[in-house]
């Protein structure tokens, strides 16, 4: 696409690039893409005093805006996607929850269509192959041991759009399922697990590369039983998901993960359910009823935390202002790392010429001011 009518120069902001932050930088947008140079007469948007960072990439998200990715119509899913886009998430993987296998396969088909249309970036299966003693907000009577044949059926139902599968790898069939996923180019994630340290190492050696919401739904660190957390943090092959909403994690545990794994091995996620960006009330997460009060989602029966109501703009601001993490480290964890894991870094995850013009404008206090996706403003900074 050419011509100044489609050229925009975002100028004056602090721009976070893979090489570092540029003061008084600029980002040139040409059509859907970031360009290396501007056409004569290009429109200029002055963003002095602001930050420009890459669009956020959420690899673990169950819904938002009152809509669930685990049930409902395609339009319901799109409503949730739009809600998260308005909060800076320009690339999103839709996550399922434990359900009947036939229903999960049907869901995967619907989500695959939306992936093929470019609305979402793929499918993440969370359950049903998880440990009952670490089930969290998953229906107990639908859980089952991992069966590579059943895992394969769900992957096939996603028609090439399956990106990640969360398993309790210590269960019978777990390691074989990890190997199958690795062979098919699907991320095998360890989560909702009661695994030991040694069992976790075996799963990593078999091909598991992600820790699903590290610390949550797994044994804690103990001096003679380090469990999965130590194994996941120490291995350079593993990226650890973190839910930084002030409820799921104590700040010290967030700091531990960034310090021990390094920013290059952290992925900030939402694990959001339909109440994200919508408000308190009663909802459903798969077949289970959830009550959201003061922004915290818990199962009506049993009181377990049931996902989050987090959006990634809030996670970004909290990480920088409360946890005092460097902006560049947060950008790495919220954009670049998940984009690489998903195999999308050639298109999204950083502000570089040739990539999609997916970006977020933040004010001096890291509040969201603008969102651009593929060269179009979702939220205008001049509104």
Active site positions, annotated: 271
d(CA 161, CA 331): 25
Instruction: Tell the burial category of 288 from Cβ atoms under 10 Å away from its Cβ (0-12, 13-18, 19+).
Output: buried
Half-sphere exposure of 260 (CA within 13 A, CB side): 17
- Please state, in angstroms and as integers, the Cα–Cα distance from residue 233 to each residue in 55, 174, 214, 327, following that order: 26, 20, 9, 22
Pairing of strands 187-190, 359-362: unpaired
- Please state, in angstroms and as integers, the Cα–Cα distance from residue 93 to each residue in 58, 106, 371, following that order: 6, 17, 18
DSSP string covering 22-64: EEEEEEEEETTEEESSPPTT-EEEE-TT-EEEEPEEEEEE-EE
- What is the chain's Cα-based Rg? 20
- 């531990």: which residue's tokens? 256
- 């408000």: which residue's tokens? 279
DSSP state of 276: T
Per the DSSP assignment, residues forming a β-bridge with 174 are: none
Q: Which two tokens stand for residue 104?
A: 């999960």
Q: Which two tokens stand for residue 100?
A: 């009947």
Q: Which two tokens stand for residue 175?
A: 């390691």
| Cβ pair 124, 166 in contact under 8 A | yes
Per the DSSP assignment, residues forming a β-bridge with 44 are: 9
Q: Is the dihedral of CA 118, 86, 251, 61 positive or negative?
A: negative
d(CA 193, CA 121): 26
Instruction: Tell the burial category of 31 from Cβ atoms under 10 Å away from its Cβ (0-12, 13-18, 19+).
Output: middle
Which of 325, 318, 374, 366 has its CA nearest to residue 53?
366
């Amino acid at each position: 696409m050419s011509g100044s009518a489609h050229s925009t120069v975002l100028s004056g902001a602090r721009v976070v690039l893979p090489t570092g932050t540029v003061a008084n930088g600029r980002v040139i947008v040409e059509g859907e893409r970031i360009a290396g140079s501007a056409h004569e007469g290009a429109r200029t948007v002055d963003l002095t005093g602001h930050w420009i960072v890459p669009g956020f990439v959420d690899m673990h998200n169950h819904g938002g805006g009152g809509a669930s990715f685990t049930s409902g119509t395609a339009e319901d899913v799109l409503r949730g996607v739009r809600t998260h886009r308005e909060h800076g998430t320009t690339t999103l993987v839709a996550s399922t929850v434990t359900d009947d296998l036939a229903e999960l396969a049907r869901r995967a088909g619907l989500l695959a269509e939306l992936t093929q249309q470019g609305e979402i970036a793929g499918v993440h299966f969370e359950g049903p192959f998880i440990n009952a003693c670490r089930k969290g907000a998953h229906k107990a009577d639908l859980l089952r041991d991992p069966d590579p044949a059943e895992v394969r059926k769900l992957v096939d139902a996603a028609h090439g759009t399956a990106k990640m599968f969360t398993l309790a790898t210590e269960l019978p069939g777990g390691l074989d399922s990890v190997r199958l996923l690795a062979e098919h180019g699907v991320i095998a994630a360890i989560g909702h697990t009661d695994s030991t340290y040694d069992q976790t190492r075996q799963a990593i050696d078999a091909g598991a590369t992600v820790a699903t919401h590290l610390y949550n739904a797994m044994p804690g660190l103990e001096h003679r039983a380090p469990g999965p957390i130590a194994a996941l943090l120490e291995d350079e092959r593993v990226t650890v998901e973190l839910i930084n909403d002030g409820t799921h994690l104590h700040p010290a545990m967030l700091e531990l993960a960034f310090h021990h794994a390094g920013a290059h091995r952290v992925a900030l996620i939402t694990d959001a359910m339909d109440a994200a960006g919508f408000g308190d009330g009663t909802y459903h997460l798969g077949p289970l009823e959830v009550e959201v009060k003061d922004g915290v989602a818990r199962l009506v029966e049993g009181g377990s935390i049931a996902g989050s109501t987090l959006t990634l703009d809030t996670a970004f601001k909290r990480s920088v202002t409360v946890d005092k993490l460097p902006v560049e480290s947060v950008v790495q964890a919220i954009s670049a790392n998940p984009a690489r894991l998903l195999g999308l870094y050639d298109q999204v995850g950083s502000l570089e010429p040739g990539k999609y013009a997916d970006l977020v404008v933040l004010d001096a206090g890291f509040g969201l001011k603008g969102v651009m996706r593929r060269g179009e403003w979702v939220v205008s900074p001049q509104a």
